[in-house]
Structure 1
Amino acid sequence: MPQVRTRPARPARQDRRPPLGRKERIGLVLAVVVFLAPLLVDVPDLDPVGERMLSVFLLAIVLWVTEAIPLVATAVLVIGLEILLVSDQALLAVPEDSPEYSSFLEALANPVIILFLGGFLIADGAAKYHLDRNLAAVLIRPFTGSARTTVLGLMVITALLSMFMSNTATTATMFAVLIPILGALPQGRPRAGVALSIPVAANVGGIGTPVGTPPNAIALGALAEAGYHISFAQWMLMAVPLMLVILLAAWLLLIILFIPRGLGIDLDMTASWDTDRKAVIFYAIAAATIILWMTENLHGLSANVVGFLAVVALLVTQVMDGSDLGRLSWPVLWLVAGGIALGDGVGSTGLDAWILGLFRWESMGALVVLIVMGLLGLVMSNVISHSAASNLLIPLAMGLATGIGGLDPVTIAVVLALACSLGMSLPISTPPNAIAYATGEVSTADMARTGIIVGLVGTVVLVLVMPTFWSLMGLL
């Protein structure tokens, strides 16, 4: 009698998404209301296409602030609505000079996205071949002995890694290194100070390079759309001095608040380097990529091209493969693309000029506007994601720069990107903060006190000192 093979029944697919909370439900209702309002009510001094773009812009603000749907979902929704409402493929009538629908889709393959793609793949390779942990183990050795010196070493290493890896991945890596250090410390304030040093340094270190954090990419994308090219090395010259000042100030604050004088730490950390063929090839490609990024002005090859060539080299040599590509932070890349597309839509429909015309910005003066925008970026990035804050503010700031004498578009875009990275006062402000809070060593009050002081001091230096420094260095 023939045997009949039966397949085991597949378990019913469960929806793992948590139910919408009160904040999300309110966000969805409010998003619908603000989206429909400009479509149903005539907006003075704004043409129909501008009214539609205003609907998209207000929708993006509400959804990014409330996170009623995932941030990346809002980003792609923005692109889709722009195509359907204001492009040459719009469902409603549009002028003949309306932007082509492809201009919005191109945001998904913007050169800045390709640059970040290369940075993400190198960062994932560093974790795959244990380069990140081995570097941390080697670099921490000179800083052992004094607890205060060890904290400085941890912050320097974290900042260096965060310049080329995502802040979240860097924080996760450093906390793996941090476990024996925390175990060697007495419970209480010292442990809280050491645990806080990692997210602070990760957030600050991310401002140092174009691939360090999404707000940098959003600013570079907006500047590129406006015809301003900022090289990899030029960004570093603008951001690294600020990074070092804030890092030193944050270290001084942490040791004063948390680490008593005379407390010692004795560590015995060893590195175990991968020496197989693929690991060695990865080391060579990663080193060559970083060197080419930092010497863009010497060889003339765009940092975006270098980032793509790194992807090519890693895949062709089979050091990384398709599964590694699948694990990349694609939602972050698409979130950045949504911000670029939003800025393109705001500028091409004249919405930026209309919004700026609602306020008498010109009466404030360039410095006051810079201070207001810097503080606005800092405040917003404490309560919503850094990427969302950058996506909302940078397009407006770019339009603002064209109408105020003495206000350079590069200055205000870079200031906003850097200010948005300094929002770190709450566990929800940034993933590194959430990781540190989850250890149970850090209280919300300690995190808030440290984050507010570091953020305010950093923003004051950023808006009052750095533009003058950049001008003296010939970077503007």
Structure 2
Amino acid sequence: MSPAIITLIVLGIVALLFVTEAIPLAIAAMGGAIALGILGVIPITQVFSGLSNSTVILFAGMFVIGGSMFHTGLAQKMGETVVKYAGKSENGLMFAVMLITAVLSAVSSNTGTTAALMPVIIGICAVAKISASRQLMPLAFAAGLGGIITLVGTPPNIIAAGALKAAGFEPFGFFEFAWIGIPLTIAGMVYMMFIGKHLLPKMEISTDQEIEQEIEVSVNDPKKMWISGIILLAVVIVMGLDLKAIPLEIAAIIGAILAVLTGCLKEKQAYHSIDWVTIFLFAGMMPIAAAMEKSGAGKMIADIVVNAMGGSPSPMVVTASLFILSCGLTQFMSNTASTALLAPIGISIAKGIGASPHAVLMAIAVAASCAFATPVGTPPNTLVLGPGGYKFMDYVKAGSGLVLVCFIVSIIIIPMVWPFFPK
């Protein structure tokens, strides 16, 4: 049996365990990675490599910084301020949360944006007496949508532009993605405020109550509130500047260390602030995603879809098919890997039928950012999993509709802005 087939079988079993939640999500993910190592698909030394991944380190650091905001009472204070102006309306808060997140994600890391805003949003929900589960998934979705707006908002955009340039075509401009990114963001916000919110879980999260109890203990320490706020602001600024000397994970860990050293929270409280389910779920999926790419499982799926389109498919069929394929792969595979895999295929097919590849490449890149239907599709989704108290099917229910909305909007707008046969 080929490594690609083995990988697909393991992925299928893991997906089934995710959906049924017969065993905890983190154990299913780590079990999949271990299985691939034992079966020889990936080197046994890479089974736990996900635990050293920079994104996992980023998660841990931001969880601690978020914890310091709760222990000092800063999150509560910020929540009271936002609620004062935005009100306690669920839709009003969701609009504000998604708008701010999308704007920030357009010019900075969507993972960093989600990590930085998450503790603030939980504080707002505590004040507004709204379960965090009603706002954290919209936060993660808005981060994904906002990243589409600019060239640097998310890696797939850069890869698509680079693939066009390498093939001798005019690459996408910095703000060219806004033609599709802004409509998708608006459509996504409307969907979540009027349809998606009805698919989100309605529950009281025990962690919220624990947080409130902890805040009552330390709320009278304005000095530590300021320190905690300055640490968060400094980390966000460093992340926004995208300094090569200080990567996101380094900024997060430095912030976490400073939070402990300055007494914003104790060492044991810092450890308690980290959501270990999120850490192990993401770490477990990293080797599985790598196996999808290296074993050829992803390419096998792509070849099947391409062959199914026939010899001379219409440009619209190609665009729609590759959008669906890219979107499907990115639910369990790195969006960077999905785009890198499909970009040359899209250019080749477009050239074969005499059409401009720009629409096809834009569809592939946009679809790779539509990883809304699983908690492992993109780091922002994974980051809110534990704090939001979500289950795998919560993402399927709320995220699948958003994926469909993005597909419809993209298929309408992309050919209008990037014609298949430009004059």
User: What is the TM-score normalised by the length of structure 2?
Assistant: 0.60
Is 1:279 aligned with 2:225?
A: yes
Is 1:351 aligned with 2:297?
A: yes
Q: Of 424, 447, 460, which aligns to 2:408?
A: 460
Q: Is the 8 A contact 2:69 2:225 kept in 1?
A: no
2:53 is matched with 110
- 1:207 is aligned with what amino acid? G
Deviations 1:354-378 (A, max 9, x none): 333333256565521343247758x
2:84 is matched with 141
SS where residue 237 of structure 2 aligns?
helix
Q: Of 396, 399, 403, which aligns to 2:341?
A: 399
Larger Rg: 1
Counterpart CA distance in 1 for 2:181 and 2:334 is 23
Deviations 1:99-155 (A, max 9, x none): 5433343222111222222232222322222333322221233345xx9xx555422
Q: Is the 8 A contact 1:422 1:455 kept in 2?
A: no
Counterpart CA distance in 2 for 1:54 and 1:247 is 31
Ranges in structure 1 where 5+ consecutive residues have no aligned partner: 1-37, 39-45, 88-98, 183-193, 211-218, 229-233, 258-271, 378-388, 424-429, 437-443, 472-476
Deviations 1:275-302 (A, max 9, x none): 44433221111000001111116x6532
User: What is the TM-score normalised by the length of structure 1?
Assistant: 0.55
Is 1:64 aligned with 2:18?
A: yes
C-alpha spacing 1:126/1:250, structure 2 compared with 1 (3 Å): farther
C-alpha spacing 1:415/1:118, structure 2 compared with 1 (3 Å): farther
- 2:408 is aligned with what amino acid? V
1:154 is matched with 93
Q: Is the 8 A contact 2:373 2:400 kept in 1?
A: no
- 1:86 is aligned with what amino acid? G
Q: Is the 8 A contact 2:72 2:221 kept in 1?
A: no
Q: Displacement, 1:72?
A: 0.7
Q: Of 250, 254, 260, which aligns to 1:305?
A: 250
Question: What count of residue pairs does the alignment treat as equivalent?
Answer: 335
Counterpart CA distance in 2 for 1:410 and 1:322 is 47
Q: Displacement, 1:308?
A: 2.8
- Greater per-residue helix proportion: 2
Q: Of 100, 120, 123, which aligns to 2:63?
A: 120
Is 1:205 aligned with 2:148?
A: no
- 2:29 is aligned with what amino acid? A
Is 1:369 aligned with 2:369?
A: no
C-alpha spacing 1:462/1:281, structure 2 compared with 1 (3 Å): farther
Q: Displacement, 1:419?
A: 4.2
Structure ranking higher on relative contact order (CA contacts 8 Å, 6+ apart): 2
C-alpha spacing 1:300/1:274, structure 2 compared with 1 (3 Å): farther
Deviations 1:314-347 (A, max 9, x none): 3343434233223311211221222221121122
Q: Of 295, 298, 319, which aligns to 2:264?
A: 319
C-alpha spacing 1:348/1:392, structure 2 compared with 1 (3 Å): closer
Ranges in structure 2 where 5+ consecutive residues have no aligned partner: 103-112, 148-153, 164-173, 199-217, 348-356, 376-383, 419-423
Counterpart CA distance in 2 for 1:433 and 1:328 is 10
Q: Is the 8 A contact 1:107 1:338 kept in 2?
A: yes
Counterpart CA distance in 1 for 2:373 and 2:280 is 19
Matches within 5 A, 1:10-409: 46=2, 49-86=3-40, 100-143=43-86, 153-159=92-98, 160=100, 163-165=113-115, 173-179=123-129, 198=135, 201-207=138-144, 241=182, 244-246=185-187, 249-250=190-191, 253=194, 275-296=221-242, 301-320=246-265, 321-360=267-306, 363=310, 366-373=318-325, 376=328, 390-391=331-332, 399-405=341-347, 406=357
Identity fraction in percent: 16
SS where residue 114 of structure 2 aligns?
coil
Deviations 1:396-437 (A, max 9, x none): 6653444332488897466344341699xxxxxx9799989x
